[in-house]
Structure formats: C-alpha cells, structure tokens
Structure 1
Amino acid sequence: MLISAPSPFRHARAVALLLVLSLLALCTALLPASARAQIQLKMGGTASATVVSDTVTTPRVQAQLVALAPQGIAPGQPLKLGLRIKHQPDWHTYWKNAGDSGLPTQLDWQLPPGMQAAEIDWPTPQQIRVGDMLNYGYEGTVLLPVAVQVTPDFQPRADGTVDIRLNASWLVCRVECIPEEGQFALSLPADVADTMWAADFAQAHTQAPQGLEATQSRFSALPSGDRVRLRVHGLPAAAHGQTLAFYPESADTFHHAAVLGKDWQQAWESNVWTAELPLSAMRGATPAQLSFVLGLPAPGTDVAHAPPAQSWRITAPVDGTWTAADLAQVSPALAAALEANQQAAATSAPPAAASPISTRSWVAALVGGLLGGLLLNLMPCVFPVLAIKLMGFARHGANARAQRANGLAYAAGVVLSFMALGGVLLALRAAGEQLGWGFQLQSPLVVASLAALFTLIGLNLAGVFELTQVVPSRIANLHARHPLADAFISGVVAVAIASPCTAPFMGASLGFAVGMPAAQALAVFAALGVGMAIPYVLLSWVPALLRWLPRPGAWMDTFRRAMAFPMFATVIWLVWVLGQQSGIDGAATLLALLLCLAALAWVLTLHGKTRLVLSVLVLALAAWLASSFGRNVVEPLPVANASSSATTGTGWQAWSASAQAELLAQGRPVFVDYTAAWCVTCQYNKRTTLAEGDVLAAFVQRNVALLRADWTRRDPAITAELTKLGRSGVPVYVLLAPGQAPVVLSELLSTQEVLNALQTL
C-alpha cells in the first residue's frame, strides 16, 4: 500500500512547529548578560535584578571598586573608597579637566545611611597629545580615591557587613574613543580591618598634588587681551630652576595644545617661577581666581608626556581683565549656516533627517541581499529543509490556489524571520552590545537546542516515530488544519539554519546594513529573505516548472528516509560547533542528552506500562545528566583553550588588537583570518586556500604574520574590528601593512587572490 504523498513531510514540519516555539523562548539566551542588565535597568528593574561585582572588565580597561579601612568601618574611623582602573596598552582615561577633548570619570555612590563620600582626590595626570590636541589623563594603572566620612548615626547591617554600591562611567580613548560604564558592589565586614589595597592608596596619595598655602601667586592679564602672565613665589626648593608642567583645572580658559618654548614660555627669576600663557579661543569672562597644578617631572623624563614625580595645587587671583571670546565670530561659516537654518525653518517645514548612507550604497546593499538570499538555497545545511518543502507541492496537486497561498506563506516566514533577526541585532547594537550577524550561533544553548530540533526531525524522517504516536492527535494534526501556518513555520526553520551562512555571500551588504538607519537596514534584511524565498514562490506560481517532478508514489517514502541523513549530518556539525565553544566535555554531554532524546522519542511509540516505565527512566536519566553535566554544554571554554583550538595550523597565532598593533609597529605585514566554527565557508577556506603550499610559502617569503580571530563565541573586540572593516559577519580576510590601507579579500577565497594581494607588499 502506498503512503499518501503529504504524510512523510507533514510530520517533519509538525515536529518543527512544536519545537520552534521553544527555540523562540531562547531569545533571552541570545542576549549577553550586560545587555540583559541594561534592559532591566531601562525598564525600571531594581539594582538587585542585575548581577554586579567589584570588578568590570572590558577589552580596554579593568575597573575595580576597592576600599581601605585600617580600623574597620565605624564612626570617626578613616575610610577610603576608590575606583582602580587598569588600562590596556595605548588606552587612557581622563583627569577632571580632560583638555581639548574627552570627559572625566564620573562616580555615583550609593552608600548606607551615615556614610558621606567626598569628591575624587584626583592624582596628577600626564599630558597626552593626540594629533593637534592636548589632553590630560591616565595610562597604565590609576586609582581614583575618595574619602568617606562615617557619622555617629552609622549602623552596619544585622550580619555586621556594609554594602557599598557604585555606578561609574568613563571615556576610554586611544585614537578612537569609547564610552563605558559599570555597576560595582562591595560587601565589607564592619569590625575587620581591610588594608589589602593600602599600597595603592598610598601611591595615589603621593600622586595627588600637594596644597601650598604659603605661596604667593598671581595671574595678570596682558594688554593683548589673549594672554596672561603667571608668577608663583614659594615653591619648594626641589622645583627651583626646573622646567614644570602646567595643568589648568578650568576646561575652557587656556590653550591646552600650546607648545612649550613655541607658543608659551616659562622662566625662573631667582626663586619665582614665571610663565606667559595663551588663552583659549573659547574663553569666557575674566574670573576672580583660577586653580591649577604645577608638576615636577622625574629626573630624565619629558615634562610634556611623563606623569610628574611631584606636584602642587595652587589657586591664584587674577589681576585685570582679558577680552572674552566672541563665540559668534569664531567661525563665520558656522554663523552663516546657523542663520540660513533659522531662515529655512521660518519659511518651511523642518527637513527630513539626512541619511548617512547614500542612495546608491543602499541600493547596492539591497541587490547584494537579494543575490545572497538566492545563493543560500544551495547551502548544504539548508538543502534538506528546502527539499522537503519542494516535495510538499505534491500535497496540493492541481490545486493552484493552495500552492500559491503556501508559497506566499513560506515567503512571509522567511522574510519576517530575517527581519526579526536583523531587528534584534540592530537593537542590541544600539544598546551598546558588540554583536554581528550569526550572533545566535555564538550561544552554546542555542546551538544545543538546534541540535535537538534536527535530531527529532531526522528521527521522524527515518521512521523512528510518527507525531501521532507521541502527542495527542489534535496537536499532531494542527499542520493539516492550518496549512498556511505550517508553510510559515517552514520558512522560520529554514532561516534558523541558513542565517549563519549568509555572510560569505553578502558580507559587505550586512556591514553596510548595521550602520544604516533602522528602516534602511531592515529593508536589506528583507531583501535577503526575498532572495531566499523567490525560487519557492516561482515554483508555486508557475505550475509549468513542476512538470519535472515525478508523480507521488513509493519513492516518496524512500526520499523521506534519505532526507534523515542530511539532518543527522547537520546535527554532527552543530555538535562540532558546540565542541569548539564548550570543549570536548560539552560535546560529549550534548551527545548523551541527544541519545536520551532519541530514546524518549522511541519509547513514546510503545504502549501500556512499558511506555510509562521506560519514559520515566529515560526522563530521570536525562534529568540527572542535565543537572550533573549540563554546565559543560553552556559554559564556554577558557579563552586560552579557545585560542589554541582556533589557531591550529602552520604559523597561525591567536588574534588580539595589541598583538596586531605590535606586529605592525615592528614593520611586519599582518594577514588576519576572521573565522568561526559555525561558518561553513570559513572552514572550507581554512582547509583549502589557506592550507595551500604556495600560499603558505608566500606568507613566509614576505615575512607576513598570520593571526586568526576566532568569532565562534561572542567577542566584542573582534566585532569592533569587523565593524571598522565594514563587515558584520565572517569570513573576512584582511591584509595589513604599515603605512598602507587594509586590503579586504573576498569571502570565497582563492589561491590566486591571496598571492596577488601579497605581491602588493
């Protein structure tokens, strides 16, 4: 007896229909912890809903809340708190006067009743020149200390502890600048002395400027109206005759970037230090007095760059008045533009906001999305779903209306799913997360869930179980009663598999999309979905294209069972991806859980007490495995292990921004392979073009350093580098050389392309 044509394929899609809802529930797993914390705070969540600690680490700094309580915490006893910031090489944060650019670090304390925090006792900074600007800030490690007064009405908690909370924000810069923030928590025992950070606080105390009450100092405005003379009498003997660094505390009074010896001068008249200082073009009215810091450099160091060995804070009165800057005259072009804008606003409606992306670039991104979607139908991981869907045409036979409706429903599922994924990506990036396309497969929990989904679909196709055997018939037959919903879900499942494979075909388009306004970006993601759905829609609307399909018959049962093996192959790939993320123990645990899932699917086909007893045993075993070893699946590998697994191969090293910068500073060209375990094209290129003897020999001949940036797990530093290159997914291959623009190669890498790029060195 021949089976009815639609039954083999309805069951597979019905399994997907039941499980896709659970996959959607995993959306929160796609959100990094910091993003979830931001969403909770923005929606009015309490601080207790966010997991915080005493340390916040970013790719640029490590910030830690520290305390010094040498006599414990009690009224009248000394107590200091502080934020200790350890910068990565070449990065810096700012002093209370940042200089020509930047922002000072802000500390917002939440202290128990009876504790009052003072202002930051700022250590004296160093001068940091960036181009034509001069900033005041800190490199290396700095502690920003704050004295805390403990009043008589202070009481610790019932358990004798004191909870300290801090919200801090800082701007960290190299050449580019990145605003960062952190929430810190510290619990201290009130009756125990805490001196762990005593040395750091002592060093911060020596770095802070000393007050000089006995000095006689004065600013005098010069007749030119744009300069002042400063005289300081009473500096310590160690400073006499030395060149001193000048740090003004007011942001817009002095010309910070003025060069000593060229734009301003200093001299000693006996024991009096004098200087003639240029004023800022943004200066305001003359104040009654000004505060500043003078720094004495350590012997053998440069006053213009090194932090001073000693420093003194002075407040001096101002004699005379200078000419306040007429800001309206600073930039005539700006003033004319402002006036034109005002006239235009008075005579017409406000113009629409200008798009940062040109129309030509946007159209090119749309075309790239459309072509990329078309090519997705040829990907091995997508083919099983599409093949099953194609066979579904047999269900409707000559019913052209039903075929067309199902084609449109499938297209809607594909297009809306791509737009939903794109919307999540854009929202998270707007919230400050460093994410890129394919981010869903950077979560081990999502990878494991997809492996479970395709295991069940494969078992169903292989005939191990039918849906009517394991769930009530009213649920099993939902797909038959709602064929359009069934077709829509097929589109959702196809996107779930296909989305990580998009970057090889449209890396540039996705890179443009994430930087576009939301409406334009979502249009690119929609174009990707349209491209993927077009072949199926054409088949459903043009019956002549279906004449090559054989008539329904026994072959369909064979085809159904054959399609189980590509599903199992996809499961193997997903287990391998998870092994790259969580290690061999994670992969083994997932395989054990999938075995339990397969056993449960078979047990549910049995009857009577056997079904009940075996189901309980299998579920108990699965629960024990999940509770005992489940963390192996969801916990990522340590960074060192992940890096070593990513760099297997001749001459390859793990990528980092500092390693790349160091190699370029040495004059060596650098080739960077941005890759991920879940990227099929990445793995193909790695084992073919990048393993070719000619390519490896050319790398050695030209002394090219090989770096591999593994994006299998979420890595904000790698995402930021991809964004700079105009990409939002992998693979990406870039050749860097000192003094040359980066050369970004194509995603489908060829040996000749790499050799041609190397010839430009």
Structure 2
Amino acid sequence: MTYRLSSRFRPLAFAAWLLALALLTLGAAQSSFAQIQLLGSSQAASGAVVTTPRVRAELVAHAPDGVTPGQPLWLGLLITHQPEWHTYWKNAGDSGLATQLQWQLPAGLEAGEIDWPLPKIIRVGPLANYGYEDQLLLPVPFKVAPDFQAPAGEALTIRVHASWLVCRVECIPEEGDFTLQLPVRGATALHAPAFAAAQARQPAALSGRSTAKVDGARLQVRIQGLPAALQGQNLVLFPETPEVLEHAALPGSGWTQAWDGADWTADWPLSAMRGETPKELPFVVAPVPAPASGPVAWRTVATVEGQWDSAPVAGVSPALAAALAANAQQAPATPPAAGSAGFWMALLGGLVGGLILNLMPCVFPVLAIKIVGFARHGQDRRMLRLGGLAYGAGVLLSFLALGGLLLALRAAGEQLGWGFQLQSPGLVAAMAVLFTLLGLNLAGMFEFGRMLPQRWAGAHLRHPAAEAFLSGVLAVAIASPCTAPFMGASLGLAIDMPAAQALTVFAALGVGMALPYVLASWMPALVRWLPRPGAWMDTFRRAMAFPMFATVAWLVWVLGQQSGIDGAGALLVLLVALSALVWAFTLAGRTRWLVGSLVLLGTLWLGNAIGPLITRAAAVQSAATASASEWQPWSAERVSSLMAAGTPVFVDFTAAWCVTCQVNKHTTLNREDVRAGFAARGVALLRADWTRRDPAITQALAALGRSGVPVYVLYAPGRPPHVMTELLSPAEVHDALKTL
C-alpha cells in the first residue's frame, strides 16, 4: 500500500486557504465599517443626522413662511428608537436623564425651551420612568428678532449639540453634533406631519386653580377646571419636578385618586429623596385611554400648601473621608513609557511570548498537523526546509496583518484589543464551520479532490510550500485568542507605540511562534525521533479529527456566551446540516446531485430561519442570578466606590473565547483555598467579561498597559494596582493577598 499524504493533506491547506480568505474578507469588511463610521462622524459634524445602533437622530425644521420676524419657526430633534429602546421626558422618573439641546445660532434667532410631548410610563422592574419609544419629535420654538437681516448666502447655519440617554435594560449615554442649512426665503415644511403630531401630543393649559397640600409624608393634589367629559375617568399624573413623588407607587396601594364633584384629587406618597419644599409644582394629567379628539393631556401649576420634611442628607464618616483622601492621592495606573528601553523590552517580551504560545492549548490542533507534516517529508531535506520557511512566513505575515488591522481600527477610533476578531459571533460561527470541515476531512469522510471538478482539484495548491504557508495562517487564526506570558505587557506597549515600532513587536511575536518549526525544518536531528512515513500516518490523521471537533465544541460554547443557548443551538443544527451536505456530495452518480440538492435547499432554509439567532446578543443576566454569585459584574464606577469604602478589589478581565482564561479559572480562581483567601480578607470579586466588544473594558485594559485578556488585578486602597501574570497560580494569588 502506497501512502501519498501530500495529496491527501492538500484539503487541509485548501481549508486553511478558505480561512485566510475569510480573514481577509473580515479585515476588509471591518476596515470598510471603520471608514463608514468615520464618514458618519464627519457627517454628524456637518450634517443633520446621527445614527447609532439604538437610535437615529435628525435635526429638522418647520418654517412654512421662511425665516421672517413674526412668523412661526420651529426646529426639533427627531429621534427614531430601535425596538425596546427608549429615551426620557423632562422628568425622567425613578431613573434616567432628559434629552438636552445646546444651540449655536446666528444673530437674530433665539431658541425657546423644548415643548415636551406627553410621555408614557415605562416600568422597569420596581422603577417607573417617564419617556418615549418608537418615533419622537422634540420641537423647539424660535423667535426671529424684528431687525433680523438675512445673510448673503440666503441660508442660516443652525448648530446644536444634543445628548440623550437611551435605555432598554442597560442604559447608554449618547450624543451628537448636528448642523442644518435653513433657507431664509421659501417654505421649509418637509417634516410638517411630525411637527403636527408633536403639537397634538402637547398638554393644554388649565385655567382652574390647583393645590398640593402636604400631609406628613404624603401630598394631596386637587386640580380644578378639567373638562366635564373627564369626570369619573381615571387619570395619570406626571409631575414635572423630579424627586418629589414616588413615581413607582401603584394605584390603590401607593396612591389613590377620586373625583370630588368637578375637582380631581389624588393622594400620593412623597419621595424619600425630596429636597426643600417649593412654592409651586407643575403637573400634567392625562386620561387613560387618550381621547379620540381634542387635547390628550392638561398642564397645571399647583400652589404648595404646607412644608414637608426634607430627606436627610447622608454625611461622610471619618473613615470614609480618610479612604477618599488616600484614594485621591493614589496615582492612576498608566501604561509604561514606550521609550527606547520600553521598545526593546516589548520586543523581547513578544519574542518569548510567541515561543510560549506554541504550548498554549489553542495551538494544539495545528501542532499535530505540523508533526505529521515533518514525518511526511521523511528525509527530503529540501522540501522540509522549504516548508518550514513557508510556515514561518505564513505565521509572520498573519501576525503583521492582524496587528496592522488592530492598529488601523484603533487609530480610526475603535476600542479594540488583542483577540478582537473573536468578539464577533459571526466569525466564531465561521471558524466552527471551518474546523468542522477540517475534522470531517481528517476523519476520512471526504476528499476535496473527489468533490470538486477534476480541473479544479488538480489546480489548487500543487506546491507543498503553499500548503505550509496557509497552515501558518491557520495557526495564527486559532492562536490569537490566547495571551501567553510576556505577551500581555508587550501587546499593551505596542498599541501605544508608533506604527513602525508596534508592527515590529507583532513581527517579534510571529518570529517567536514560528521559530521552533523553522529550526526543526533546518535541523533534521530534531525530528529524527519521528518514525518514517507509513500506515501509522493514516491512523494518526484520523485521530487528529477529534482535536478539531473539540475545537468546534469550544467555539460553540464561546458562541453560547455571546448569543445565548438559542444561538449555540442554532449553530449546532447548522453544523449537522453542513455535515449532511458534505456526506451527500460524496455519493455517486445521480444520487449525489439529487440528495445533495435536497440537503442544500434544507440547509439554506435552516440558515434563513435560525441563522439570525447566532448573531443575536444573549439576554442580560438577571440581578438575582448575579447577586447569587461570588463574582459581580465589573464597572469602573463599582471599583471606585468599593475602593472609596476601603474594600480591596480583585478584577478578572476575561472572555469566553480566551482558553487561558478558562484554564486559570479551573486551576486557580475556582479553588476552595483561593476563594477562602479572598473571603477571609474581604476582597470584592469583580469579573470584566470581554467576550463581546466592550469599550469600557478595552479602556480599562489600556490604562493597565494591556490590550488583551487574561489580566488579573488586585486593587487595595492607597496602593497602586497589582497586575498579576497571565498564567495564574494559587501561590501567586496567596502571596498577593498577604500584602493586604
């Protein structure tokens, strides 16, 4: 029996070529995305539209008679919310912030206040907020001075800086700069329906007298002058002044309402956060449901009768004041200087880190393939050396490509770090598909030469050097989630270096990772312990299918952390369909095309039906689940508050796709003695999950001089942060805890 594994391993190289193409496509797509984002930012600075993943905001105008003294002139911010997201009214309720507009106007124009449309009550758990969903226009009336003179260009440049808080379960502050060229002459009425709809949602003014009488910790509101048609109906009360009433109080239990003849009354609990008693309180009342015609709400200003007790203001204890003072004197963590010494240290760290990267578990599948590759060439020293150099070139160029892409995107304003490509669920799924194909090929289910037309099969990758080069690309692709010792500091330094120096550090990483294979290819004595080519290679090749499938299992688990159990399940179903499709095209004759076509149609239907689940964000962990865990979600604010209270903090910067992170969890962080050590010294445990892209975590890593995970930091009041090694050990943690 003759073994020609050179031809049989070409499918692996072909699969690696597919991965290289996918990485190049991803790089092009992300570069294009960065350019689009830059273009969007540029347009936001000189245009009327700002778009974020949650809202689309546009500066619009309504001037049906042009810009003329005495004629109506309105501008407004038109906000279109994505489903389930909302922004806030002038009084946001129990949480949130109102949208704010800061105008830059030409001479002769004066902006009024926002005419807030009637909001809706948005309940989030025990909280009640006042805000808006779907589409919203915040109109602002403008006055045109009597002596207004039109500019020579016949158009006014209107600028406004807007800031808003958009929330679903999580809340994200956003802002934008808007510019609008408003014609002076002629009508501007493109958005007339939106302004008319906003006007229809305005509360009408009440002429009747209203009072708000203080009764202990409650407020008794009486409103007169409401239309007779409302008598007997239930109304909703919206206080315009924040922190006066308990917004989340429920009708019947927290507050009551009744009609006393033509007067509407309400008895409402005062807020525990109330301040000094004002003289007047403005209210908006609205019927439920809204009337079919006429005003949808009425606004009144109630006179306050009596005085309530202001909520006590918490003082600062002497211990807390001392802790705050010590924390203020602590120098912030800054990245090490990237001078000449820093550059050479980063270079050395990159070289050593690249060498150690070969020992990381994520590189094992490619390591096995390279061992077979060495044995396959036998005593053909020329091909062995050529393959080693080609493999090294693939590794080196791939590190340079990833480093260049990372630097380019960060220069464009993207908050990214090492391993950023696996923060994309789409790429994780694509890599799971690739490794499934590799596993099926190694297991002997199919050969590309039998599935492709003969002309194509004989054309691809005729030279072993190309195969070795693309296996180097594959090695970098699956090694990038790992951060070996010495790599973290080097990558953190490289990110802030000039581009030429930074790419040199990335090149050092590539040289370090490729060096063992290049040396082995040029020094035959290092591989003489391998047996000569023979039947064992076919057995070994089939056995190597299982590390590939193990890699697929890990990638599915990573996707489950990003997109939830539904996303992981959808990927598994599609991988099964893909395997069936591969099997179908190994059949012969008409059966191959008939069964293959049916399975292909089924796979396409499944991809359309359940494919979106793969990229959908996982549901946010409930507060109850989070509180039951020893580890709490990280935030910079939480670290600061704990430190101010004198509590030491241990932060685990981690990600599901980081294999080293998972190893450290099982070998160190989950050990009983380590957990007991944390508890004995009262250390708060925070976990910064970087599985999906999080600019706040990226910024925190940069402040520590790192650009990838894992990173382990122990914070103690009055001391600089203690950053531990990437390969964590229980002894290192115990030694750090002894210093507290």
Shift of 1:74: 11
User: Which of 489, 492, 495 lines up with 1:511 in the alignment?
Assistant: 492
- The 5 Å alignment of 1:745-756 reads 745-756=724-735
Superposed CA offset, 1:505-562 (max 9, x none): 5111111110111111000100000001001111111122221111111001001000
- What amino acid maps onto 1:22 in structure 2? A
Superposed CA offset, 1:595-649 (max 9, x none): 11111111111122211111111111111111111111012214446x998x698
Superposed CA offset, 1:404-458 (max 9, x none): 2221111111011111111111111111111110000000000000000000011
- Whether 1:454 and 2:417 are equivalent positions in the alignment is no
User: Which of 729, 735, 747 lines up with 2:708 in the alignment?
Assistant: 729
Q: Distance in 2 between matches of 1:717 and 1:638?
A: 19
SS at 2:632 equivalent? strand
User: Which of 394, 413, 430 lines up with 1:413 in the alignment?
Assistant: 394
- The 5 Å alignment of 1:149-160 reads none
- The 5 Å alignment of 1:47-62 reads 51=51, 55=55
Q: Given that residues 414 and 533 in structure 1 are in contact (C-alpha distance below 8 angstroms), is that contact kept between their aligned partners in structure 2? A: yes
- What amino acid maps onto 2:519 in structure 1? L
- What amino acid maps onto 1:11 in structure 2? P
Q: Given that residues 462 and 562 in structure 1 are in contact (C-alpha distance below 8 angstroms), is that contact kept between their aligned partners in structure 2? A: yes
Assess, with a 3 A threshold, how the Cα gap between structure 1 residues 166 and 580 changes in structure 2: closer, same or farther.
farther
Q: Distance in 2 between matches of 1:108 and 1:473?
A: 71
Q: Show the counterpart of 2:687.
A: 708
Q: Distance in 2 between matches of 1:429 and 1:51?
A: 20
Q: Given that residues 110 and 144 in structure 2 are in contact (C-alpha distance below 8 angstroms), is that contact kept between their aligned partners in structure 1? A: no
Q: Show the counterpart of 1:743.
A: 722
Q: Given that residues 653 and 710 in structure 2 are in contact (C-alpha distance below 8 angstroms), is that contact kept between their aligned partners in structure 1? A: yes
- Whether 1:194 and 2:198 are equivalent positions in the alignment is yes
Assess, with a 3 A threshold, how the Cα gap between structure 1 residues 35 and 736 changes in structure 2: closer, same or farther.
farther
SS at 2:9 equivalent? helix
Q: Distance in 1 between matches of 2:160 and 2:656?
A: 37
SS at 2:719 equivalent? coil
Q: Distance in 1 between matches of 2:103 and 2:485?
A: 43
- The 5 Å alignment of 1:593-742 reads 593-640=574-621, 650-742=629-721
Superposed CA offset, 1:563-600 (max 9, x none): 00000000000000000000000001101111111111
Assess, with a 3 A threshold, how the Cα gap between structure 1 residues 31 and 166 changes in structure 2: closer, same or farther.
farther
Q: Distance in 2 between matches of 1:576 and 1:2?
A: 40
Q: Distance in 2 between matches of 1:32 and 1:106?
A: 33
- Whether 1:477 and 2:458 are equivalent positions in the alignment is yes
Q: Distance in 2 between matches of 1:400 and 1:453?
A: 31
SS at 1:653 equivalent? strand
Q: Show the counterpart of 1:253.
A: none
SS at 1:14 equivalent? helix
Assess, with a 3 A threshold, how the Cα gap between structure 1 residues 668 and 404 changes in structure 2: closer, same or farther.
same
- Whether 1:369 and 2:373 are equivalent positions in the alignment is no
- The 5 Å alignment of 1:461-500 reads 461-500=442-481
Q: Comparing 399-408 with 373-382, which one deviates more in the overlay?
A: 399-408
Assess, with a 3 A threshold, how the Cα gap between structure 1 residues 503 and 724 changes in structure 2: closer, same or farther.
farther
Q: Distance in 1 between matches of 2:179 and 2:514?
A: 48
Assess, with a 3 A threshold, how the Cα gap between structure 1 residues 723 and 480 changes in structure 2: closer, same or farther.
closer
Superposed CA offset, 1:172-193 (max 9, x none): 9xxxxx9975679997724624
Assess, with a 3 A threshold, how the Cα gap between structure 1 residues 119 and 688 changes in structure 2: closer, same or farther.
farther
Q: Comparing 663-672 with 546-555, which one deviates more in the overlay?
A: 663-672
- What amino acid maps onto 2:25 in structure 1? A
SS at 1:733 equivalent? strand
SS at 1:382 equivalent? helix
- What amino acid maps onto 1:625 in structure 2? L
Q: Show the counterpart of 2:282.
A: none
Q: Distance in 1 between matches of 2:192 and 2:629?
A: 51
TM-score calculated relative to the size of structure 2: 0.65
- What amino acid maps onto 2:468 in structure 1? A
Q: Show the counterpart of 2:316.
A: none
- What amino acid maps onto 1:390 in structure 2? I
- What amino acid maps onto 1:13 in structure 2? A
Q: Show the counterpart of 2:125.
A: none
Shift of 1:740: 1.9
Assess, with a 3 A threshold, how the Cα gap between structure 1 residues 663 and 66 changes in structure 2: closer, same or farther.
farther
Q: Distance in 2 between matches of 1:171 and 1:585?
A: 32
SS at 1:714 equivalent? coil
- The 5 Å alignment of 1:165-314 reads 168=161, 181=176, 189-190=193-194, 192-194=196-198
Q: Given that residues 47 and 179 in structure 2 are in contact (C-alpha distance below 8 angstroms), is that contact kept between their aligned partners in structure 1? A: no
SS at 1:674 equivalent? strand
Q: Show the counterpart of 1:331.
A: none
User: Which of 65, 76, 79 lines up with 1:81 in the alignment?
Assistant: 76
Assess, with a 3 A threshold, how the Cα gap between structure 1 residues 19 and 365 changes in structure 2: closer, same or farther.
closer
Q: Given that residues 405 and 484 in structure 1 are in contact (C-alpha distance below 8 angstroms), is that contact kept between their aligned partners in structure 2? A: yes
Where does structure 1 lack aligned partners over 5 or more consecutive residues? 57-63, 96-103, 110-115, 124-140, 152-163, 173-177, 200-298, 302-354
SS at 1:11 equivalent? helix
Shift of 1:729: 0.5
Aligned-residue Cα RMSD (Å) equals 4.5
SS at 1:189 equivalent? helix
Shift of 1:145: 9.1
Q: Distance in 1 between matches of 2:45 and 2:450?
A: 45
Q: Show the counterpart of 2:38.
A: 38
Q: Given that residues 582 and 633 in structure 1 are in contact (C-alpha distance below 8 angstroms), is that contact kept between their aligned partners in structure 2? A: yes
Q: Distance in 2 between matches of 1:607 and 1:45?
A: 61
Q: Distance in 1 between matches of 2:383 and 2:55?
A: 59
Q: Distance in 1 between matches of 2:337 and 2:729?
A: 34
Q: Distance in 2 between matches of 1:644 and 1:405?
A: 59
TM-score calculated relative to the size of structure 1: 0.64
Superposed CA offset, 1:32-74 (max 9, x none): 9676422577799998999558848xxxxxxx76889999999
Q: Comparing 426-435 with 15-24, which one deviates more in the overlay?
A: 15-24
SS at 1:410 equivalent? helix
Q: Show the counterpart of 1:557.
A: 538
User: Which of 507, 516, 529 lines up with 2:510 in the alignment?
Assistant: 529
Where does structure 2 lack aligned partners over 5 or more consecutive residues? 80-86, 115-130, 132-136, 146-156, 166-172, 181-189, 204-308, 312-335
SS at 2:361 equivalent? coil
- What amino acid maps onto 1:79 in structure 2? W
Q: Distance in 1 between matches of 2:420 and 2:634?
A: 19
SS at 1:706 equivalent? strand
Assess, with a 3 A threshold, how the Cα gap between structure 1 residues 197 and 476 changes in structure 2: closer, same or farther.
farther
Q: Comparing 727-736 with 651-660, which one deviates more in the overlay?
A: 651-660
Q: Distance in 1 between matches of 2:613 and 2:158?
A: 33
Q: Percent of counterpart pairs with the same letter?
A: 54
Shift of 1:389: 2.3
Q: Distance in 2 between matches of 1:194 and 1:612?
A: 60
Q: Given that residues 103 and 161 in structure 2 are in contact (C-alpha distance below 8 angstroms), is that contact kept between their aligned partners in structure 1? A: yes
Q: Comparing 593-602 with 455-464, which one deviates more in the overlay?
A: 593-602
Assess, with a 3 A threshold, how the Cα gap between structure 1 residues 742 and 669 changes in structure 2: closer, same or farther.
same
Q: Given that residues 69 and 194 in structure 1 are in contact (C-alpha distance below 8 angstroms), is that contact kept between their aligned partners in structure 2? A: no
Q: Distance in 2 between matches of 1:576 and 1:184?
A: 46
User: Which of 554, 557, 560 lines up with 1:579 in the alignment?
Assistant: 560
Assess, with a 3 A threshold, how the Cα gap between structure 1 residues 760 and 391 changes in structure 2: closer, same or farther.
same
Superposed CA offset, 1:346-367 (max 9, x none): xxxxxxxxx9621111111111
Q: Given that residues 70 and 195 in structure 1 are in contact (C-alpha distance below 8 angstroms), is that contact kept between their aligned partners in structure 2? A: no
Assess, with a 3 A threshold, how the Cα gap between structure 1 residues 544 and 108 changes in structure 2: closer, same or farther.
farther
Q: Show the counterpart of 2:21.
A: 21
Assess, with a 3 A threshold, how the Cα gap between structure 1 residues 648 and 426 changes in structure 2: closer, same or farther.
farther
Shift of 1:700: 1.8
Q: Show the counterpart of 1:442.
A: 423
Shift of 1:480: 4.6
Q: Given that residues 69 and 195 in structure 1 are in contact (C-alpha distance below 8 angstroms), is that contact kept between their aligned partners in structure 2? A: no
